[in-house]
Amino acid sequence: MHGLRRTLLIRTTCRGKASTTADVSHPSQDIEPSTTKEDVPLKTANASTVYRPPYYRKPHQHHEPKHMLQEEFPSTGDQTGAGVRLFDYYKTAEIVNSIPSIKEKIDFVSPYERPWTRAEKTWRRDWHPTLMATRKAWGIPPTPAHFDTLDYYKYLTKTRVENGSLDDFYHGLRPPTADLQKSFQSTLNSMEFGDGITFSDDDTQKLLGSLVDDAIGGIAHNVSRLSDYRVAYDVESEAFWVRSGFMFLYNEEEIGKPREVKKRLNNFPKFIGDDRRKLGELAFVHRDKLAAQVRSREPPAPLHSLDSVDAKLPVFEKDYSFEDTLFSPKVYNLWPDQEPLWQCPGYHADSGETHSYGIVNVKSLRPLRERIAHWMGWENEHFLEDSEEAKQMLDDGARSQAIISMFTTLCAQAHTHGFTQYTDVTRPFTSQMILSDGLNFYFAVGQLNTLAINVECDGFVNPRTNFIRIEGPHRLFAHYDEKGEYHSIQEELNVENEVKRKMGNGLSEKVLERVTQMLMKQ
């Protein structure tokens, strides 16, 4: 009996080796008793240490142990499924690298599956296999459709958010704003902006486009590279991606056994947007609309390198509770999108666009004001300025919008340069964004550090996180009088370098200066 047990041990161990990674250790192995978990470095897998698994291996444990031998000598390949998932990931990356054109790469990695045609449904017979539901991406609306999406969007995009001033980022840039002050006031008067409360979304987008034009016209004679920039209006910005970490959607509590969770994987349909192997990897798509976009031939300077500490800081704090944030996308009013998926950062991948780097993106927040007024039960937006609750909802919604719009633009931009979620970026992508409802202005600077957020299993370690810093809100003006003149709070430095605020005529110098700085920043 001892010899038989030893033979079974050898066979079981060998089978497990063939389906997992050579560098991934079992939780109960390779750890000294006196060593804590924090002291052990994470062992990562790569394409050279992942072997082809047998055909019968599953990406997760598909059944309970049936006898004592399976309990004592479990196959490592059947325990976690890491070997199957990693082999699939690196094999897909190998195929992507072999595809010659960028358009074909995007189509290959797209999770889109077309719906079944009428003929395919009609000519199916009872003895045919059941038609599997096609994969649909969860559509993130252009305007947040839930009042508390900030942390959820941070998780979906793996973006670390900082709130604070951008003065250090634009240090040394002191552009003149006198010409912009006059020209933009004339634009406001010609469009009959007034106090801006009842301005429509279409007019707001035109106004923001005119702001970019006026800002460029005020500094074009001193900044020669602006002549080579390309300005687009009413821009389509679309991107799709896959986010891991949703295996909890298959959890089910045992009846009569509180807090004992069992995964519903067998004889249970896959969740919408997930892979048919039930990996907990949901597909998402965001079809955004930008009021204006300024593009350049050359990429802007990165905020930090991919190997720096800043690129590997965590998105959430160490003791953050994900149970309060991670729910089904339906909770946040996301709905399945069955339309074809694109990567479009203002242009299509096969268009031959020469100006492929977005310098400044401008987004209208007017639909967000209208949605908050609807949530509050108001017929119009007049009461929004007097409600602290509505102002807080507007602030959270604007920051959520900045996260998802910035990630969408940079994700699509990285795809049009040949990077995918299987072939991660080797250089950072940076951009700037202006978000405004015509009254309040938010300014953001973001950097894409990784696209590989679609896999979560043993052996796959990706500490890099994306980054965005958001400044605002800044009020364009504080008061609009009966004479049709604008008044705003101006900041001045006294002899002791103290900031003094006073009411002055004209629009906010802070807003006009920041818009000009974004156009001048290299």
Instruction: Give the three-state DSSP class for 216.
Output: helix
Evaluate whether residue 88 is within a structural domain.
Answer: no
Please tell me which residue, 123 or 145, carries the higher pLDDT value. 145
Evaluate whether residue 274 is within a structural domain.
Answer: no
Report residue 69's pLDDT band, with 50, 70 and 90 as the boundaries: confident
State residue 15's pLDDT score.
35
CB 253 within 8 A of CB 260: yes
* CA atoms of 14 and 10, how far apart (whole Å): 6
Tens of pLDDT along 150-206? 999 999 999 999 999 999 999 888 888 899 999 999 999 999 898 888 888 999 999
pTM of the model: 0.87
Q: In what order do the strands lie in the sheet with 499-505?
A: 479-480, 486-493, 499-505
State residue 482's pLDDT score.
81
State residue 493's pLDDT score.
66
State residue 40's pLDDT score.
39
Tens of pLDDT along 196-253? 888 889 999 999 999 999 999 989 888 888 989 999 999 999 999 999 999 999 888 7
The average confidence (pLDDT) of the chain is 85
Evaluate whether residue 26 is within a structural domain.
Answer: no
Its domain, for residue 172, covers 143-239+287-333+340-520
Judge residue 30's burial from the number of C-beta atoms within 10 Å of its C-beta, 0-12 exposed, 13-18 middle, 19 or more buried: exposed
Q: At what angle do helices 388-416 and 150-157 cross, to 10 degrees?
A: 10
3-state secondary structure 237-266: EEEEEEECCCHHHHEEECCCCCCCEEECCC
Evaluate whether residue 76 is within a structural domain.
Answer: no
Please report, for residues 270, 337, 413, the alpha-carbon distance to residue 342 in angstroms, rounded to integers and kept in the order given. 24, 12, 11
Evaluate whether residue 479 is within a structural domain.
Answer: yes
Evaluate whether residue 159 is within a structural domain.
Answer: yes
Asked whether residue 467 carries a pLDDT value surpassing 80, the answer given is yes
Most confident of 56-60, 83-87, 141-145, 259-263: 141-145
Q: Is the dihedral angle over the CA atoms 347, 352, 355, 359 positive or is it negative?
A: positive
Size of the chain in residues: 522
Domain total for the chain? 1
